[in-house]
């Protein structure tokens, strides 16, 4: 009898979890048309909990501006959709050719930056239709995607010609996971090629200013792609400007903060996301 009762309890729990998983829905929308290309965004929401002016989280994947996919943030999007957000994982132009070689002659991190700023403007412009609060848009990214999140907040000189410049792309908060914070490096110089003079215009560190959105950042102390001393310089300058910048560093961790853990594309783990949850509560985006 006890085994039957235990089995029923377990089944009920599994069905509840399954139901919770099932109620998160995904839609794919076009947010930008450039040349002959459509750029898409994957939107996640819980229909039963969706209300007007819901806070939003928009995410940009990593991959060095040449690789990666919005799908790498899908599990995190589902997690936060279950917590009451409407979440978005954005595609952006990558500097890769059809045969897989790189860089692309006409697409550089500058074009990726333009797409990121368009993306947040698109969210604000369509906030009513998307049921999101235009004043509660959290933007995050991993590695190159972190540079794009910071670009939305900082890089006023980088805009698509078709953008409505009266709509602000500046997020209301930032989530940075192994984020690139300084583009003055050989890899980006290589991607820019004969446009290398533009490297300063897309560098978060070199465009920092007062009044930035509050940010939380996570970095591994063994990261060999975004070097710890560069992150420390970024933190010092943020503090000098009186910007809210919470930095968590992890001994022994490298660029992928959850290497070997596939749940969140090795970007982060539950421990990091719980710190992120606390930050979102502190900033008023998540109920206590």
**pLDDT score for 8:** 34
The answer to whether position 104 is within a domain reads yes
Residues of the chain with pLDDT under 50: 1-20
**pLDDT score for 7:** 42
- State how many domains the chain has: 1
The answer to whether position 20 is within a domain reads no
Q: Which two tokens stand for residue 172?
A: 């209301």
Domain range for 69? 25-282
Q: Are 195 and 113 in contact (CB under 8 A)?
A: no
The answer to whether position 15 is within a domain reads no
Residue 187: closest CA among 109, 267, 101, 92: 109
The answer to whether position 65 is within a domain reads yes
The answer to whether position 14 is within a domain reads no
**pLDDT score for 111:** 98
**pLDDT score for 47:** 87
CATH number at 194 reads: 3.40.50.1820
**pLDDT score for 64:** 98
- Judged by phi (left if over 0) then psi (alpha if -120 to 50, else beta), residue 266 lies in left
Is beta strand 132-142 parallel, antiparallel or unpaired with respect to 86-90?
unpaired
For residue 3, what are the contacts with CB-CB under 8 A and spacing of at least 6? none
Task: Output the CA torsion sign for 273, 232, 159, 64.
Answer: negative
**pLDDT score for 51:** 65
The answer to whether position 152 is within a domain reads yes
The answer to whether position 157 is within a domain reads yes
**pLDDT score for 288:** 76
Task: Output the CA torsion sign for 127, 70, 93, 146.
Answer: positive
């Amino acid at each position: 009898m006890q085994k039957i009762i235990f089995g029923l309890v377990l089944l009920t729990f599994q069905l509840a979890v399954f139901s919770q998983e099932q109620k998160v829905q995904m839609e794919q929308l076009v947010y930008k048309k450039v040349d002959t290309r459509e750029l898409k965004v994957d939107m996640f929401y819980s229909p039963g909990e969706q209300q007007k002016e819901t806070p939003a989280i928009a995410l940009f994947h990593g991959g060095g501006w040449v690789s990666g996919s919005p799908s790498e943030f899908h599990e995190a999007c589902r997690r936060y959709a279950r917590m009451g957000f409407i979440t978005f994982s954005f595609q952006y132009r990558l500097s890769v050719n059809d045969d897989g070689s790189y860089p692309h002659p006409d697409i550089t991190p500058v074009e990726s930056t333009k797409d990121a700023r368009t993306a947040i403007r698109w969210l604000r412009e369509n906030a009513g239709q998307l049921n999101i609060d235009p004043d509660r848009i959290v933007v995050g990214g991993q590695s190159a995607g972190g540079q794009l999140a910071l670009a939305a907040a900082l890089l006023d000189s980088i805009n698509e010609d078709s953008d409505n410049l009266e709509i602000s792309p500046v997020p209301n908060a930032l989530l940075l996971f192994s984020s690139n914070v300084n583009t003055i490096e050989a890899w980006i110089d290589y991607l820019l090629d004969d446009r290398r003079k533009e490297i300063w215009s897309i560098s978060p560190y070199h465009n920092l200013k007062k009044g930035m959105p509050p940010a939380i950042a996570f970095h591994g102390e063994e990261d060999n792609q975004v070097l710890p001393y560069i992150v420390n310089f970024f933190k010092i300058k943020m503090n000098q400007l009186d910007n809210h910048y919470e930095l968590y560093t992890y001994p022994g961790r490298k660029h992928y903060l959850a290497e070997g853990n596939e749940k969140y594309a090795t970007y982060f783990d539950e421990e990091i996301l719980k710190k992120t949850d606390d930050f979102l509560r502190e900033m008023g985006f998540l109920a206590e």
